[in-house]
Amino acid sequence: MDNGFDPVIGALNTSLNLRLLNQNVISSNIANADTPGYKAKAVEFEAALRDALDVGDGLKPEVNSPLHISRKPTDPVNPVIYDDPNGIESLDGNTVNRSSEMAKMAENQLIYDGSVEMLKRKLGMLKYAISEGGGGR
């Protein structure tokens, strides 16, 4: 995803938004761990991020007419949220494994924190370039 200024900042922004959505889905799973019949949800995170960054495995369609529909870098990313097929159904029909969800939450939080740190460093470099990088003045 390109924000028109710096593609790295756009990619980190998209990553943070997707990680936030993932955290919300995991939190919802944990909150419903004791709800009879609740099916654990999961986010198709990696495919959504690949689509947003235009780094998918497939060939890119050629847009050579104004009538062609193409994805713009500013288009919102809409990841798929689906019932997690890996869940084992308990006697009450619930498929949430609380310890597995807690591990997913910890992993997601670590990656989110890493993305925030990278964004801070990128913005710090831009700030330096603007204020101090002028050199010999």
Poorest-pLDDT segment among 29-38, 42-51, 56-65: 56-65
Check whether 23 has a pLDDT greater than 60.
yes
DSSP-assigned beta bridge partners for residue 41: 83
Domain ranges of the chain: 7-59+67-131
**Residue 125 phi, psi (nearest 5):** -65, -40
Over the stretch 83-121, which tens digit does the pLDDT of each residue have?
998 889 999 999 999 999 999 999 999 999 999 999 999
Is residue 33 exposed (0-12), middle (13-18) or buried (19+ Cβ within 10 Å)? Answer: middle
Alpha carbon distance 116, 23 (integer Å): 15
Alpha carbon distance 130, 42 (integer Å): 42
Alpha carbon distance 83, 7 (integer Å): 32
Check whether 47 has a pLDDT greater than 90.
no
